[in-house]
């Protein structure tokens, strides 16, 4: 813009060509900035929601809640969290791992939205046997 001001009232063909070139460059830079902003907006809109670390505070309650759940529901939850148990008989040790992936929240949301998982109201007379201890 400063360069355009320096031309002042010069109306020569060279000054007009110079003005046109500066305007073309400005238009090109403006179009590039607009396209970059549109791409940034699209990328920002498609990002998954931020994780909620406060859900980790609920983990200590999971064993008590799962103990009374039907076997099918427990199996689905274990699959969603990719729970694996490794038992070593000789030292009497068990190692249990759970993996939280980017698909885990969607799987848990699907489980909680599924009316078949609401076993307390769907079949109030059903009870679940206690989980036997691992020898």
Tell me, yes or no, if the pTM score tops 0.75: no
Query: How long is the chain?
Result: 135
111 and 68 in a common domain: yes
pLDDT grade for 122, boundaries at 50, 70 and 90:
very low
59 and 41 in a common domain: no
> 92-95 long-range contacts, Cβ below 8 Å, gap at least 24?
94/134
Q: Which residues contact 38 (CB under 8 A, 6 or more apart)?
A: none
72 and 94 in a common domain: yes
Measured distance CA(116)–CA(110) in Å, rounded: 11
102 and 71 in a common domain: yes
70 and 13 in a common domain: no
135 domain-assigned: no
116 and 73 in a common domain: yes
Domain that holds residue 76: 53-122
- pLDDT tens-place string over residues 34-48: 999 999 998 888 777
Running DSSP on this structure, what letter comes out for residue 86?
Answer: E
Least confident range of 49-63, 88-102, 103-117, 121-135:
121-135
133 domain-assigned: no
**Mean predicted confidence (pLDDT) in 111-129:** 61
21 domain-assigned: yes
116 and 58 in a common domain: yes
The 3-state DSSP class for residue 123 equals coil
Domains of the chain: total:
2
- pLDDT tens-place string over residues 46-96: 777 677 777 777 777 777 777 777 788 888 888 888 888 898 988 889 998
Is the pLDDT at 123 greater than 80, yes or no? no
28 and 62 in a common domain: no
């Amino acid at each position: 813009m400063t360069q355009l001001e320096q031309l002042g009232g010069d109306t020569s063909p060279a000054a007009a060509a110079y003005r046109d070139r500066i305007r073309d460059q400005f238009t090109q830079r403006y179009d590039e900035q607009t396209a970059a902003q549109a791409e940034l907006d699209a990328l920002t809109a498609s990002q998954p929601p931020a994780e909620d670390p406060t859900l980790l505070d609920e983990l200590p309650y999971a064993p008590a809640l799962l103990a009374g759940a039907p076997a099918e529901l427990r199996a689905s939850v274990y699959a969603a969290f990719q729970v694996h148990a490794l038992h070593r008989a000789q030292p009497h040790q068990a190692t249990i791992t759970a993996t939280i992936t980017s698909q885990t929240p969607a799987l848990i949301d699907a489980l909680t939205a599924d009316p078949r998982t609401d076993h307390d109201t769907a079949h109030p007379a059903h009870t679940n046997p206690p989980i036997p201890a691992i020898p």
